[in-house]
A = this chain, B = another copy of it.
Amino acid sequence: MARAGLTRARLALAAAELADQAGFEHVTLSAVARHFDVKVASIYSHVASAHDLKTRITLLALDELADRLAVALAGRAGKDALAAFAEVFRNYAREHPGRYAATRYRLDGATAAASAGPRHAEMSRAILRGYDLTGVDQTHAVRLLGSVVHGFVSLELEGAFSHSAPGSDVSWSRSLDALDFLLRNWPAPATPADPIEEP
């Protein structure tokens, strides 16, 4: 009987494709086994569990995204970089909704640390080099940036914006304009914390 030639990597890739087509939550060892015309038990020689397989999709997705981000950010700064960064996220989510969803799959600490997650963080921060933000303000801005991009992309993917005019494309570009404006004019705290600073 001919062998299917399974591999950790091939399994992860097939699972990622399945995720994109059927949704991340429908990724199943059984489905992957069917795809390779192999019995389910065989999968366990290459992957520890269903959770493991999903984790591999996540790592794959984070990696691909980081690669795209790196390419898009090369040689760009300021709003250009901001827009490129955001566009990569949005396009990735549209092209690969399942993988994008996988991106939200919970990793344990060690796995997360070894993932492309830190590269993402670095690149987010790199974008802000084009703006005049220092110290903790940079961190706040990174977090806000992440929130806007992730929030918009996932709401859009859920169809939250598709039941009213105008099309979400316009809102997207206006949101990026707004974000750029904000980063160029980062406001001081409105409620200046408790007046007592650490002595």
Contact = CB atoms under 8 A, between A and B. Distances in A.
Interface residues of A, number: 45
Interface stretch (A7-15, A39-47, A68-76, A146-154): A146-154
B152 A147 contact: yes
B174 A140 contact: yes
Copies of this protein chain in the complex: 2
Interface string A137-149: 1011001101111
A191 B173 contact: yes
A71 B101 CA distance: 33
Contact of A136 (B146, B159, B170): B170
A189 B177 contact: yes
B181 A187 contact: yes
Given A151-B151, A152-B147, A190 B180 contact: yes
Contact of A178 (B144, B149, B151): B144
A26 to B, nearest CB: 12
Given A140-B174, A146-B151, 17 more contacts: A104-B154, A104-B158, A136-B166, A136-B170, A139-B165, A143-B171, A143-B175, A144-B152, A146-B160, A147-B147, A147-B155, A151-B154, A154-B154, A177-B191, A178-B186, A181-B182, A181-B185
30 contacts: A25-B25, A79-B190, A104-B154, A104-B158, A106-B158, A136-B165, A136-B166, A136-B170, A139-B166, A139-B171, A140-B178, A143-B155, A143-B171, A143-B175, A144-B152, A146-B155, A147-B147, A147-B151, A147-B155, A148-B148, A148-B151, A150-B151, A151-B152, A151-B154, A177-B187, A177-B189, A178-B182, A180-B190, A181-B185, A185-B185
